[in-house]
Amino acid sequence: MDKISNFRRATAVSLPGAARGTPMSAADEWFDREVLPLEKLLMQFLERNWRNPSDLPDFRQEVYALVYEAALTEIPGNTRHFVLTTARNLLINRARHERIIPIEAAADIEELGLALDVPGPDRIVIARDELRHLQAALDRLPPRCREAVVLRRVNGLTRTEIAQQMGITEFTVTRYLSRGICMLADILHGEPSNIRRKS
């Protein structure tokens, strides 16, 4: 029986949503389904056009906030174009503000947009590499953090059990897990997306 339920569970398309108490709003869903897979593209764009790398995570969040807010009113038609245009405008504004000579970001948009994320014939086969990809992402976490994530995700232990097994406090387990979740987001969104199964 276990096998059967396992079978069903994994074949069902898992909506990575906040769908528990309240269902995801249209904007939430759009953001999750269409914007997050563009993160690598967005980061490349920002990186190429801004010289201080430590600003980039903030820029990313700002772009996300702007596009999300726009989507609350109306879901944009061409997500990629919209995200990149928003990013470009943000950079231009910042550059003006800081009196930096603006960058030639305009041409880049179409160029990048074409280069990325075109599903090829290998797409399905590549999807089989998902597990390997996830493993590789795991391996980039710091050792203790990784251990906590593995105990949680692979072995399904609770925080209390992880604390016992690792000989640390639950508070520290929580820190490791939270940090692991943040790092995995950077790694997995930053380098998707041929892996993401189309729903």
Partner 1 sequence: MSQFRERYENAPYNDIDMRAANYVERREAPGWTDHDEVELEAWLSESVAHRITFIRLNSSWKRTERLIALRSPDNGPDAAPDPHKGTRYLKIAAVFGVFLGLGGFLVTYLTTPPTESYSTPVGGREILTLKDGSRIELNTDTSVRVALSGKERAVTVEKGEVYFEVHHDASRPFVVTAQGHRVVDLGTQFSLRVDKADVKVALLEGRVRFDPYAQTSTKPEVLTSGDVLVASADRVSVNKEPLRNLLASLAWRGGMLEFHNTSLAEAVAEFNRYNQTKIVLEDPRARAETINGMLPINDLAEFAHVAKNLFGLRAENHGDEIVLTR
CB of 190 to partner 1, least distance (A): 7
SS3 115: helix
Q: Which residue among 38, 84, 105, 138 contacts partner 1 (CB under 8 A)?
A: 138
- What's the chain's length in residues? 199
Give 3-state DSSP helix, strand, coil % of the chain, rounded to 5: 70, 0, 30
Binding to partner 1 by residue 75, rule CB under 8 A?
Answer: no
Binding to partner 1 by residue 23, rule CB under 8 A?
Answer: no
Binding to partner 1 by residue 115, rule CB under 8 A?
Answer: no
* Cβ density class 105-135: b for 16+ within 10 Å, e for less: beebbeebbeebeeeeeeeeeeeeeeeebee
Q: Which residue among 69, 110, 114, 164 contacts partner 1 (CB under 8 A)?
A: 69
Size, binding site for partner 1 by CB under 8 A: 75
Measured from the CB atom, the residue of 115 and 131 that comes closer to partner 1 is 131
Provide the token pair at 149.
Answer: 């994530």
Q: Which residue among 56, 103, 112, 168 contacts partner 1 (CB under 8 A)?
A: 56
Binding to partner 1 by residue 155, rule CB under 8 A?
Answer: yes
